[in-house]
Structure 1
Amino acid sequence: MARLLVAEDYDDFRELLADYLRARGHDVIEARNGAEAVEAARLEHPDAIVMDLMMPVRDGASATRELKSSSATRGIPVVAVTAAAPRGVPAQEICPGCDALVAKPVDFGTLLGTLASLLRS
Protein backbone atom coordinates (compact mmCIF):
# COMPACT_ATOMS: atom_id res chain seq x y z
CA MET A 1 0.00 0.00 0.00
CA ALA A 2 1.01 3.66 0.20
CA ARG A 3 3.32 5.60 2.48
CA LEU A 4 1.22 8.48 3.82
CA LEU A 5 2.06 11.56 5.89
CA VAL A 6 -0.71 12.74 8.22
CA ALA A 7 -0.26 16.32 9.49
CA GLU A 8 -2.79 17.19 12.21
CA ASP A 9 -2.31 19.15 15.43
CA TYR A 10 -5.14 17.54 17.38
CA ASP A 11 -3.46 14.43 18.84
CA ASP A 12 -6.57 12.28 19.23
CA PHE A 13 -7.74 12.88 15.67
CA ARG A 14 -4.25 12.41 14.20
CA GLU A 15 -3.92 9.08 16.02
CA LEU A 16 -7.42 7.99 14.97
CA LEU A 17 -6.72 8.85 11.34
CA ALA A 18 -3.28 7.21 11.40
CA ASP A 19 -4.68 4.05 13.00
CA TYR A 20 -7.50 3.92 10.44
CA LEU A 21 -5.05 4.20 7.54
CA ARG A 22 -2.64 1.67 9.06
CA ALA A 23 -5.51 -0.80 9.50
CA ARG A 24 -6.02 -0.55 5.73
CA GLY A 25 -2.40 -1.46 5.05
CA HIS A 26 -0.81 1.97 4.69
CA ASP A 27 2.49 3.01 6.22
CA VAL A 28 1.79 6.27 8.11
CA ILE A 29 4.15 9.04 9.20
CA GLU A 30 2.71 11.57 11.67
CA ALA A 31 3.37 15.32 12.02
CA ARG A 32 1.88 17.71 14.60
CA ASN A 33 2.17 20.95 12.60
CA GLY A 34 3.12 22.33 9.21
CA ALA A 35 6.80 22.70 10.07
CA GLU A 36 7.03 19.02 11.04
CA ALA A 37 5.10 18.10 7.89
CA VAL A 38 7.59 19.89 5.61
CA GLU A 39 10.53 18.25 7.36
CA ALA A 40 8.92 14.79 7.29
CA ALA A 41 8.00 15.12 3.60
CA ARG A 42 11.57 16.02 2.71
CA LEU A 43 13.05 13.17 4.74
CA GLU A 44 10.47 10.42 4.18
CA HIS A 45 9.17 11.13 0.63
CA PRO A 46 5.58 9.96 1.25
CA ASP A 47 3.29 8.94 -1.61
CA ALA A 48 0.64 11.44 -0.41
CA ILE A 49 0.00 13.90 2.42
CA VAL A 50 -3.17 14.46 4.44
CA MET A 51 -2.74 18.05 5.67
CA ASP A 52 -4.87 19.88 8.23
CA LEU A 53 -4.95 23.52 7.20
CA MET A 54 -5.26 25.11 10.65
CA MET A 55 -2.28 24.12 12.80
CA PRO A 56 0.05 25.95 15.18
CA VAL A 57 3.70 26.75 14.44
CA ARG A 58 2.98 26.64 10.70
CA ASP A 59 -0.38 26.22 9.01
CA GLY A 60 -1.05 23.60 6.37
CA ALA A 61 -1.54 26.08 3.51
CA SER A 62 1.90 27.62 4.11
CA ALA A 63 3.49 24.18 4.42
CA THR A 64 1.83 23.09 1.17
CA ARG A 65 3.11 26.17 -0.68
CA GLU A 66 6.66 25.35 0.42
CA LEU A 67 6.33 21.68 -0.56
CA LYS A 68 4.93 22.57 -3.98
CA SER A 69 7.74 25.08 -4.60
CA SER A 70 10.46 22.43 -4.18
CA SER A 71 11.35 20.07 -7.02
CA ALA A 72 11.93 17.29 -4.46
CA THR A 73 8.38 17.41 -3.05
CA ARG A 74 6.14 19.17 -5.61
CA GLY A 75 4.89 15.87 -7.05
CA ILE A 76 3.51 14.63 -3.72
CA PRO A 77 -0.30 14.93 -3.74
CA VAL A 78 -1.70 16.93 -0.82
CA VAL A 79 -5.22 16.41 0.53
CA ALA A 80 -6.29 19.43 2.57
CA VAL A 81 -8.48 18.67 5.58
CA THR A 82 -10.38 21.55 7.17
CA ALA A 83 -13.57 22.51 8.95
CA ALA A 84 -13.34 26.04 7.55
CA ALA A 85 -14.12 25.33 3.88
CA PRO A 86 -17.45 26.37 2.40
CA ARG A 87 -19.09 23.53 0.49
CA GLY A 88 -18.47 23.45 -3.24
CA VAL A 89 -15.38 25.67 -3.20
CA PRO A 90 -12.50 24.07 -5.15
CA ALA A 91 -9.42 22.92 -3.21
CA GLN A 92 -7.19 25.36 -5.14
CA GLU A 93 -9.23 28.33 -3.86
CA ILE A 94 -8.97 27.20 -0.23
CA CYS A 95 -5.37 25.99 -0.39
CA PRO A 96 -3.35 26.80 -3.52
CA GLY A 97 -1.20 23.77 -4.30
CA CYS A 98 -3.53 21.28 -2.63
CA ASP A 99 -4.74 18.54 -4.93
CA ALA A 100 -7.99 17.78 -3.10
CA LEU A 101 -10.06 18.94 -0.15
CA VAL A 102 -11.91 16.87 2.45
CA ALA A 103 -14.13 18.71 4.92
CA LYS A 104 -14.23 18.00 8.64
CA PRO A 105 -15.85 16.11 10.15
CA VAL A 106 -14.00 13.69 7.91
CA ASP A 107 -15.90 10.89 6.23
CA PHE A 108 -13.21 8.19 6.17
CA GLY A 109 -14.65 6.55 3.06
CA THR A 110 -14.44 9.86 1.19
CA LEU A 111 -10.87 10.36 2.38
CA LEU A 112 -9.87 6.85 1.27
CA GLY A 113 -11.49 7.36 -2.12
CA THR A 114 -9.75 10.71 -2.56
CA LEU A 115 -6.37 9.24 -1.64
CA ALA A 116 -6.90 6.25 -3.95
CA SER A 117 -7.77 8.55 -6.85
CA LEU A 118 -4.71 10.76 -6.28
CA LEU A 119 -2.39 7.78 -5.89
CA ARG A 120 -3.61 6.29 -9.20
CA SER A 121 -2.87 9.48 -11.14
Structure 2
Amino acid sequence: MTTILLVEDNDMNRDMLSRRLERKGFSVVLAMDGQSGVEMAASHAPDLVLMDMSLPVLDGWEATRRLKAAPETRHIPVIALTAHAMAGDRERALEAGCDDYDTKPIELPRLLAKIEALLGAAPSAAEAAP
Protein backbone atom coordinates (compact mmCIF):
# COMPACT_ATOMS: atom_id res chain seq x y z
CA MET A 1 0.00 0.00 0.00
CA THR A 2 1.27 3.47 -0.87
CA THR A 3 2.07 5.57 2.20
CA ILE A 4 1.73 9.36 2.20
CA LEU A 5 3.12 11.53 4.98
CA LEU A 6 0.83 14.53 5.46
CA VAL A 7 2.57 17.38 7.30
CA GLU A 8 -0.21 19.82 8.24
CA ASP A 9 -0.76 21.84 11.43
CA ASN A 10 -4.41 22.74 10.83
CA ASP A 11 -6.62 20.07 12.46
CA MET A 12 -9.52 20.49 10.04
CA ASN A 13 -7.31 20.41 6.92
CA ARG A 14 -5.35 17.43 8.23
CA ASP A 15 -8.46 15.44 9.10
CA MET A 16 -10.30 16.21 5.86
CA LEU A 17 -7.38 15.52 3.53
CA SER A 18 -6.22 12.37 5.34
CA ARG A 19 -9.72 10.86 5.22
CA ARG A 20 -10.08 11.67 1.52
CA LEU A 21 -6.69 10.11 0.74
CA GLU A 22 -7.50 6.99 2.78
CA ARG A 23 -10.75 6.58 0.83
CA LYS A 24 -8.63 6.59 -2.33
CA GLY A 25 -6.60 3.67 -0.97
CA PHE A 26 -3.56 5.43 0.51
CA SER A 27 -2.12 4.79 3.94
CA VAL A 28 -1.65 8.20 5.60
CA VAL A 29 0.86 9.06 8.33
CA LEU A 30 0.40 12.44 10.04
CA ALA A 31 2.78 15.08 11.38
CA MET A 32 1.69 18.40 12.90
CA ASP A 33 4.87 20.47 12.38
CA GLY A 34 7.94 20.54 10.17
CA GLN A 35 10.33 19.01 12.69
CA SER A 36 7.97 16.07 13.28
CA GLY A 37 7.57 15.75 9.51
CA VAL A 38 11.33 15.38 9.03
CA GLU A 39 11.49 12.79 11.83
CA MET A 40 8.45 10.87 10.53
CA ALA A 41 9.86 10.78 7.00
CA ALA A 42 13.06 9.22 8.31
CA SER A 43 11.29 6.67 10.54
CA HIS A 44 8.33 5.75 8.29
CA ALA A 45 9.92 6.03 4.81
CA PRO A 46 6.72 7.20 3.09
CA ASP A 47 6.31 6.99 -0.67
CA LEU A 48 5.45 10.71 -0.87
CA VAL A 49 5.21 13.76 1.41
CA LEU A 50 2.49 16.41 1.29
CA MET A 51 4.12 19.40 3.01
CA ASP A 52 2.21 22.43 4.24
CA MET A 53 4.64 25.33 3.98
CA SER A 54 3.33 27.43 6.91
CA LEU A 55 4.16 25.21 9.88
CA PRO A 56 5.18 25.74 13.50
CA VAL A 57 8.55 24.66 14.95
CA LEU A 58 10.15 24.24 11.51
CA ASP A 59 8.47 25.68 8.43
CA GLY A 60 7.80 23.60 5.35
CA TRP A 61 10.55 25.32 3.35
CA GLU A 62 13.27 24.30 5.85
CA ALA A 63 11.72 20.87 6.51
CA THR A 64 11.85 20.14 2.77
CA ARG A 65 15.47 21.33 2.54
CA ARG A 66 16.36 18.92 5.37
CA LEU A 67 14.49 16.02 3.74
CA LYS A 68 16.28 16.60 0.43
CA ALA A 69 19.68 16.95 2.17
CA ALA A 70 19.44 13.63 4.04
CA PRO A 71 20.52 10.52 2.10
CA GLU A 72 17.71 8.38 3.58
CA THR A 73 14.91 10.80 2.56
CA ARG A 74 16.20 12.74 -0.47
CA HIS A 75 14.48 10.35 -2.93
CA ILE A 76 11.00 10.88 -1.41
CA PRO A 77 8.88 13.18 -3.62
CA VAL A 78 7.52 16.25 -1.81
CA ILE A 79 4.48 18.25 -2.88
CA ALA A 80 4.25 21.71 -1.31
CA LEU A 81 0.76 22.66 -0.11
CA THR A 82 0.13 26.33 0.51
CA ALA A 83 -2.67 28.83 0.77
CA HIS A 84 -0.19 31.49 -0.27
CA ALA A 85 -0.50 31.39 -4.04
CA MET A 86 1.69 34.43 -4.51
CA ALA A 87 3.88 35.12 -7.49
CA GLY A 88 7.15 33.30 -6.99
CA ASP A 89 5.86 30.81 -4.39
CA ARG A 90 5.96 27.89 -6.83
CA GLU A 91 9.55 28.71 -7.76
CA ARG A 92 10.46 29.14 -4.09
CA ALA A 93 8.99 25.71 -3.29
CA LEU A 94 10.89 24.07 -6.14
CA GLU A 95 14.12 25.80 -5.05
CA ALA A 96 13.60 24.40 -1.52
CA GLY A 97 13.51 20.92 -3.07
CA CYS A 98 9.80 20.29 -3.55
CA ASP A 99 8.98 18.14 -6.57
CA ASP A 100 5.63 19.84 -7.17
CA TYR A 101 3.37 22.51 -5.75
CA ASP A 102 -0.36 22.75 -5.09
CA THR A 103 -2.55 25.45 -3.64
CA LYS A 104 -5.22 25.40 -0.95
CA PRO A 105 -8.08 24.92 -0.88
CA ILE A 106 -7.18 21.47 -2.15
CA GLU A 107 -8.89 20.28 -5.31
CA LEU A 108 -8.58 16.52 -4.80
CA PRO A 109 -8.62 15.45 -8.50
CA ARG A 110 -5.79 17.91 -9.27
CA LEU A 111 -3.76 16.80 -6.22
CA LEU A 112 -4.31 13.10 -7.01
CA ALA A 113 -3.02 13.66 -10.55
CA LYS A 114 0.15 15.23 -9.13
CA ILE A 115 0.58 12.40 -6.62
CA GLU A 116 0.15 9.74 -9.34
CA ALA A 117 2.58 11.56 -11.66
CA LEU A 118 5.26 11.70 -8.97
CA LEU A 119 4.74 8.15 -7.75
CA GLY A 120 4.99 6.88 -11.30
CA ALA A 121 8.27 8.77 -11.72
CA ALA A 122 9.72 8.07 -8.26
CA PRO A 123 12.34 5.35 -7.86
CA SER A 124 11.53 2.65 -5.35
CA ALA A 125 13.42 2.72 -2.06
CA ALA A 126 15.59 -0.13 -3.35
CA GLU A 127 16.48 1.80 -6.50
CA ALA A 128 17.18 4.96 -4.50
CA ALA A 129 19.53 3.23 -2.04
CA PRO A 130 23.22 4.04 -2.60
TM-score, normalised with respect to structure 1: 0.93
* Equivalent residue, structure 2, for 1:115: 115
1:10: Cα distance to partner?
0.1
Gaps of 5+ in 2: 122-130
Q: Offset at 1:90?
A: 7.0
Find the counterpart in structure 2 of residue 3 from structure 1: 3
Q: Is the 8 A contact 1:92 1:98 kept in 2?
A: no
CA-atom RMSD, angstroms? 1.4
Number of equivalenced pairs: 120
1:60 and 2:75 are equivalent in the alignment: no
What are the ranges of 5 or more consecutive residues in structure 1 without an aligned counterpart? none
Q: Which structure 1 residue ranges, 4+ long, deviate > 4 Å from structure 2?
A: none
Per the alignment, residue 84 of structure 1 pairs with: 84
Partner amino acid, structure 2, of 1:94: A
Aligned to 2:92: 93
Deviation at 1:100, TM superposition (A): 0.3
* TM-score w.r.t. length of structure 2: 0.87
In the other structure, the counterpart of 1:51 is 51
Give runs of aligned pairs for residues 32-47 of structure 1, distance below 5 A: 32-47=32-47
Deviation at 1:106, TM superposition (A): 1.0
Percent identical pairs in the alignment equals: 38
Larger radius of gyration: 2
